[in-house]
Amino acid sequence: MTKKKPTPKRDAQTDLPESLKDRRQLKADDTFCFSCHPGLSCFTNCCADINILLTPFDVLRLARRLEMSTQDFLDQHTMMPITKDLHLPVVILKMGDDEKKRCSFVDETGCSVYEDRPWSCRMYPLGMALPPARAGVEPEPVFVLFEDDFCAGFKEASDQHWTVESWKENQAVNRQEALEKGFQDIVSHPWFIGGRQLDPRRIEMFHTACYNLDRFREFVFSSSFLKRFELEDELVEQLRTNDEALLEFAFRWLRFALFGEPTIKVRQDAQQPGRNS
């Protein structure tokens, strides 16, 4: 009998984006000291000339805060870089046009949208990455600590001890992550194993459903969508007015549209040959 070779362990560093490599990784029970407040000499210095990736809920929450449509918010406040290394589009918050390239939401008192600040801002000084998808393996997030030299929050916080979970709870991150669980399931989906790429049509579907929620709602209610798919009446009413319910549904629909998973039931009469869909 041939002895089975053990599965080689993967170096977690090799799975991290370049910006997170060589940072201190944190395990569940590791602690760090940090505090941020207006009294720090570096207050808001971290809010300039930086790439802040926006999650779907970030876009929705900021658009509603500014009383804008999601389309207008995307047009005025974000960029969408296109590189060959990305298998899905990402949305980045646009910095200001001043010399320091400060975030346009920062004023003399600090963050003007603090209650609705993006996930990345809530997480700092923590960073998180999901390793590439592997068949049959639930991806475990990797957490790192940004111990930046310019930040005085580490030096003046000797009595503020945090773990990853206590920091996330303090910054109200857990609720957002629960809402966006469907989004994480999509971006780390095994379908992408081996470098598979979505075609332009499905990339547009992904971008609309995840980031342009007002346009997605229009798609649901102004097209043949409700004639094609079997949805409960109560859910349909929620989708009309409840943004969070619509966002969670968008992730569910994308699993059907992108990967062919049976997350939504097609109406029986819509499957008949020759019927227009």
DSSP state of 242: -
Please state, rounded to an integer, the average pLDDT across all residues of the chain.
87
Percent of all residues in the chain with a pLDDT value above 70, rounded to a whole number: 86
Can you give the length of the chain in residues? 277
* Interval 9-16 mean pLDDT: 50
What confidence tens digit (pLDDT) does each residue in 214-242 have? 999 999 999 999 999 999 999 999 999 99
* Interval 149-173 mean pLDDT: 88
Q: What is the 3-state secondary structure (H, E, C) of 156-216?
A: CCCCCEECHHHHHHHCCCHHHHHHCHHHHHHHCCHHHCCCCCCCHHHHHHHHHHHHCHHHH
CA-to-CA distance for 107 and 236, rounded, in angstroms? 41
Domain boundaries, the chain: 13-190, 198-271
pLDDT of residue 13 exceeding 70: no
Q: Is the dihedral of CA 65, 69, 75, 78 positive or negative?
A: positive
Beta strands at 78-79 and 161-162: parallel, antiparallel or unpaired: unpaired
- Which helix (DSSP H) or strand (DSSP E) does residue 73 occupy? helix 70-77
CA-to-CA distance for 122 and 173, rounded, in angstroms? 7
Beta strands at 229-230 and 265-266: parallel, antiparallel or unpaired: antiparallel
For residue 138, give the nearest of 190, 193, 178, 191 by alpha carbon: 190
Q: What share of the chain is helix, strand, coil (3-state, %, to 5)?
A: 40, 15, 45
Selected residue with higher pLDDT from 10 and 38: 38
Least confident of 30-44, 78-92, 103-117, 157-171: 78-92
Confidence at residue 54, expressed as pLDDT on a 0 to 100 scale? 97
Least confident of 6-20, 89-103, 114-128, 130-144: 6-20
Percent of all residues in the chain with a pLDDT value above 90, rounded to a whole number: 66
Strand partners for 176 = none
The answer to whether the CB of 119 falls within 8 A of the CB of 55 is yes
Confidence at residue 131, expressed as pLDDT on a 0 to 100 scale? 73
Main-chain dihedrals φ then ψ at residue 222, nearest 5 degrees: -115, 5
- Which helix (DSSP H) or strand (DSSP E) does residue 129 occupy? strand 126-129
Confidence at residue 149, expressed as pLDDT on a 0 to 100 scale? 87
CA-to-CA distance for 211 and 60, rounded, in angstroms? 7
Confidence at residue 269, expressed as pLDDT on a 0 to 100 scale? 80
Owner of token pair 């966002």: 247
* Interval 150-177 mean pLDDT: 89
Confidence at residue 195, expressed as pLDDT on a 0 to 100 scale? 80
Confidence at residue 166, expressed as pLDDT on a 0 to 100 scale? 96
Selected residue with higher pLDDT from 275 and 157: 157
- Which helix (DSSP H) or strand (DSSP E) does residue 26 occupy? strand 24-26
The answer to whether the CB of 148 falls within 8 A of the CB of 125 is yes
What is the band of 85 on the pLDDT scale with cuts at 50, 70, 90?
Answer: low
What confidence tens digit (pLDDT) does each residue in 256-276 have? 999 999 999 999 886 654 444
* Interval 184-198 mean pLDDT: 88
CA-to-CA distance for 70 and 76, rounded, in angstroms? 10
**Both tokens of residue 209?**
């459903």
* Interval 111-126 mean pLDDT: 96
Owner of token pair 């319910």: 245
Confidence at residue 154, expressed as pLDDT on a 0 to 100 scale? 87
DSSP state of 34: -
What confidence tens digit (pLDDT) does each residue in 59-70 have? 999 999 999 999
- Which helix (DSSP H) or strand (DSSP E) does residue 241 occupy? helix 233-241
pTM: 0.87
What confidence tens digit (pLDDT) does each residue in 32-59 have? 999 998 989 899 999 999 999 999 999 9
The answer to whether the CB of 228 falls within 8 A of the CB of 275 is no
**Both tokens of residue 52?**
């802040």
Selected residue with higher pLDDT from 154 and 211: 211
The answer to whether the CB of 88 falls within 8 A of the CB of 200 is no
